[in-house]
Amino acid sequence: MNDSTAIPILRVKDARRSALFYCEKLGFTKDWEHQFGPEFPLFMSISRGSLKLLLSEHQGSGTDHADLYVYVPDVDSLHEEFTSAGVTIEQPLIDQPWGVRDTQIRDLDDHRFTFATTKV
């Protein structure tokens, strides 16, 4: 399983609205979407670099309030990018006692992301 990848499924109220937030504010790209018909829930894949997320309007799919911890190469640059894009920062940059520097945001559906860089 050396090449395994976990991709979280996040339950969202409106996948198109959520994808717009991720793409315009957080720098993600929409990979694909699937819907069985116009009245059915939407399922969508978005990504930024190697981070992939699945957004699901399906009841019983995904999780309502995910808490994701994402390691990034340069959390300071990412924090500046998010701030410039008008993203609400829940936790400002902080040096943690366990050897990382991190910051937190929430998406439109209350999923919390902590972005961190290991301090050298």
SS3 percent helix, strand, coil of the chain, rounded to 5, is 20, 40, 40
- Phi then psi for residue 21, to 5 deg, are -60, -50
**pLDDT tens across 89-109, in order?**
999 999 999 999 999 999 999
Residues of the chain with pLDDT under 70: 1
Give the pLDDT score at 65.
92
Domain positions in the chain: 9-118
Contacts made by residues 17-24, CB under 8 angstroms, sequence distance 24+:
17/108, 18/55, 18/107, 18/108, 18/109, 19/44, 19/46, 19/55, 21/107, 21/108, 22/46, 22/48, 22/53, 22/55, 22/107, 24/85
Fold of 9-118: 2,3-Dihydroxybiphenyl 1,2-Dioxygenase; domain 1 (3.10.180)
Give the other-Cβ count within 10 Å of 68's Cβ: 14
The pTM is what?
0.92
